[in-house]
Structure 1
Amino acid sequence: MSALQSFAVSRLPLTHVSPLPIDADQRLLGVCAALAAVLIWSTYFLSLRQGALSPIGRLDLTLFRYGVPGLVLLPLLWRRWTVIRAVNPLWLAGMVLGAGVPFFLLGAVGMSWAPVAHGSTLIPGAAPLFVTFIAVLVFRQPLGRWRCGGLVAVLAGVICLLWNGWRDSATLGMGQLMFLWASLMWAVFTLSVRQSGLAPLEATAVVTVPNGLAAGLYLLLGPGESTLPDLSPITWLPQLLVQGGLVGLGSGLMVGLAIRRLGAEAASVLGSLTPVSATLLALWWLDEAISLPTLMGLGLVTLGVIAASGWLGNGPGIRRRVAFHPARR
């Protein structure tokens, strides 16, 4: 880049939108990464439901989820500590708490009371509502027409699921409230990551290392006991592979790759397939029944997320990259 070009780029506004240079092979790689992330998160919800109904203790599941990737990413956290330490402590706290042990336990407890279709729809599906509420209230972010319409559809889908849940049983309704609480925490995590400007693996290390350490200390020093010695490896090994390997490490890599290759809007559209994929897997693997109100709520939330992403308004052929400047301390 010439000196004149460098000067011109430096004079661009912070929110300047420039074309995302990408060829067909890179776009295909991004699509594959996004679909892999969908499969990973679908497996996560399936595993969470199966774990909630199994004899494996929640403390063990928590250690799988955070302890394994935390150990793997500890060297990365050490090497990148200077960069991570420069992030505003508020965003670091939002990441550690928003996607940490409380978030995981809310999902695990909710999954013991409600089916996969509700959890996989409400946790990621309701998050855009909370993200938008915080973004508008705190960051004064404007709302476009498509985004407003999409959020209305998401809200309608959430209400449909809640109405169906509380009509069936109070236990199912309580599980749904757990999912909504987890969704709010995920929204806090999402905004914190966006403001931090950290790379996917850096953000994953920030979440998993302290949460894995906290879970490990609770097991060693607290009243918690592991259930693993009383179980055969075939019972808990799949949970270890899914929670610790696929979700703990693979999801961050795949999501980051999809966003870099496709842009945030297109990646979020493909990510909205998670509830559909998880529900179909639960129908096949766990033989879960799906009622008509559940299907209606799932459909409204999925279509709402697609519309709220802005992809419909911009068109699938437009791929953009926004120059992001994180809020540092």
Structure 2
Amino acid sequence: MSMAAREPQRIALITFPGIRAFDVSVVTEVWGSERDSPALPPFELRRVASDPDVPIPLRGGLTLTPDRALDWLPRADLVLVPGIEDPDADVPAPVLDALRRAHTAGTPVASLCAGAFVLARAGLLDGRRAVTHWNLAATLAARHPTVAVEADALFIEDSGVWTSAGTAAGIDLCLHLVRTAHGAEAAAAIARSMVTAPFRTGTQAQFIEHPTPRADRDADALADVRAHVLAHLDAPHTVASLAARAGMSPRSFARHFQATTGTTPLHWLIGRRVAAAQKLLERTDHPLPEVARRAGFGSEVTMRQHFATHLATSPRDYRNAFRRPSGRPDGEGHVPAAVPREGPTERG
């Protein structure tokens, strides 16, 4: 089936007074912009409100015009709740009721930043893991003690309910939701148009903590190491070998690497290899053992284990779901092992 023949994925953006304009813009940029790319499926983004005839004021003198009522939610494939300006502000009861019904019907529900407070008030986070902006995590935990608040994750999924940390982490979650539904190629195409990284590794810890500034030569050495790894993912890499390349001891290298990226060298490496394997599975017909070798996993078994951990699927099922119908291997059937150039680890 061609991309043009696909049914659009229906996205419902929940709107009411007090939502953040930035989050509305992020959702609109990801699912509501017209893009000319064969990698992208069609989307239908609707701004849903209790009363679609009443414009919704946003901070900064902006106004949002809804285009659907809450009774449109049963048609949605995904429901998104933007962050709210004030976690203590009232949320319209019809909105909370509609969110409960959507989740009960099995529709994935996701919130950005302080939108987690809305999901908590609807009862959708009771007994579940969740995250919000690090500065609001303690407040969410105190006001909703049945929620297992994790202070440092960028985004979390638990039983079909997604939550994300503050501001830029909302972009991470939105791109991840595209990647989960439509594959890495679609998420990367949207990320390129937004001039942002298709995914970030690490946690909010990289923003909460304030490590001692490093000498520029250390930062340059770490950037060179990461660039080398991305260009040679199929080679064996250890903390010791990477530290030697950076001219550091393994302990110092690991400490500087985590302070720079918010994650360990091993976790960063595995994430890049998973991304490389995704592209190979989407773009080529290489057998699974060859995909594992090119991505640097060494064996199909190891690759399968990491796919289960990171993507909750198998390489074979991922290929069946996301293989591009008109895709062709690059050059003589070769797709470089390296994933796209590493994006920034922080955003303003």
TM-score with structure 2 setting the length? 0.23
Greater RCO, CA 8 A, separation 6+: 1
- Name the larger-Rg structure: 2
TM-score with structure 1 setting the length? 0.24
